[in-house]
Every structure is written in structure tokens, then in C-alpha cells.
Amino acid sequence: DTGVSQNPRHKITKRGQNVTFRCDPISEHNRLYWYRQTLGQGPEFLTYFQNEAQLEKSRLLSDRFSAERPKGSFSTLEIQRTEQGDSAMYLCASSLDGTRGYTFGSGTRLTVV
Amino acid sequence: KNEVEQSPQNLTAQEGEFITINCSYSVGISALHWLQQHPGGGIVSLFMLSSGKKKHGRLIATINIQEKHSSLHITASHPRDSAVYICAVTLRGGDGGSQGNLIFGKGTKLSVKP
């Protein structure tokens, strides 16, 4: 297992375009989390899945954001009609059951121009 | 007020110095995590604590549940320790179980000069 993999590493997009990020968690991990981190701040929780079920969504996750985890494996995070305020690092993490350690991906850095 | 507060925000040390980073939290937790983030964004989990003290190499993490406080110590610091160190907590759920998702502090940026 190569850990948590996120793609792409970097994405530059024009305002108004849609973007999609992918996260491949550690295969036996049931829980998958998405976080957003802006410069100089700690990561902020966006949403998490237990298997294929999306169990919690943050208020930060506006209706332009949608996340899926079909079949409880990889997950995608889509941002529609991107805005400059969406520019951030989007981090994915996985965990076996939320009570043990977390493994983080390297993140996808989004720049909206 | 943030639920997880770290101090200091920035820390510059000379190689070889003993370093302490502090974390205070205001919520009920099931665990506290110390994480390391290098430029470029990747986060590495250093420790997960629910009580007492853990040691790994030159790193030591302690937690005082009653005082809701944790410290991360680095002995004999080295320039390669330069990174952002983030404290995060896993909330304790209403039924005593873990809600699972993490709440993060803003991080402490450590720079160790040779």
C-alpha cells in the first residue's frame, strides 16, 4: 500500500470553471475525510465518509461543493463555478475507524485565477 | 475563541536547542494528535495521545487531560526539524465514542538555524 494518494497535486483554473479532485485512501480504511487549508491556517473539516456513506458535512461545504465515495473506495471532491476564495490546499485523510491514527495525502493545491 | 490553541505561532531556534510547543483545547476529546507539515503540504502524523507521554526518537509528547493541555518537545533540534507542527483533537461524541473528524490548531512554524 502506498498510503493516501491525491490527484492532481496542483490545479490552476479560471474563475467559474468546475474542478474535480480525487483521493485514494489506504485500502482497508473505512473512513475518509476531506479538509481545506488556507495559507497560515490549520486545516478545516469539510466532510467525511464511512465506507460509501457521507456522514457529516461542514457548513463550509457550500452547495457548489459535492463529494462522493462510490463503492467505499476512492473519493472525489468537485467544486462547481469556482471562486477565488476557493483557492486553498485540499487535503484528504483516511482512518480505519476514526479512533486510531490518520494517514494524510499530500494534498491538492488549487489556485483560482 | 478557537477550540484548539497553539503557542507559539512562530519559533526560531538554534541547532541543538530544546524546543517546546504547547497546545490547549477547550472541548472533550478522545485523542490528541501532533502532526508535522513540510512546505508543499504533506502532513505526517507524529503522535496520537489519550493520556500520559509518548516518545519517538528526539520527539516527546505529553498530555494532561485534567488541564486540557499538551506539549510537544524536540530535543537536540536540527535544521531538518524545520516545519509546521500542528496540534489536532478528535472530539468525544455524545455517547462517549469518537466523532472521528479532527479539529486543528493553526500550527506552529518552527525554523531551526544551523
Q: Do A104 and B106 touch (CB under 8 A)?
A: no
Average pLDDT, chain A: 92
User: Which pLDDT does position B5 carry in this prediction?
Assistant: 96
Q: Do B41 and A99 touch (CB under 8 A)?
A: no
Q: Do B100 and A105 touch (CB under 8 A)?
A: no
Interface test with A, best of B43, B49, B91 (most A CBs within 10 A): B43
Residue pair B48/B100 in contact (Cβ under 8 Å)? The answer is no
**Alpha carbons A38 and A15: distance in angstroms, whole number:** 18
Nearest Cβ partner of A109 from B31, B41, B102? B41
**Each residue's pLDDT tens digit, B65-75:** 999 999 999 99
Q: Which residue has the cell 480505519?
A: A96
- For the segment B86-95, the average pLDDT, to the nearest whole number, is 80
Q: Do B100 and A48 touch (CB under 8 A)?
A: yes
What cell numbers appear for A62 in the block?
A: 457550500
Residue type, B71: S
- For the segment B89-94, the average pLDDT, to the nearest whole number, is 76
**Alpha carbons B72 and A50: distance in angstroms, whole number:** 31
**Each residue's pLDDT tens digit, B22-33:** 999 998 888 999
Asked if the model's pLDDT at residue A11 lies above 90, the reply is yes
Asked if the model's pLDDT at residue A59 lies above 60, the reply is yes
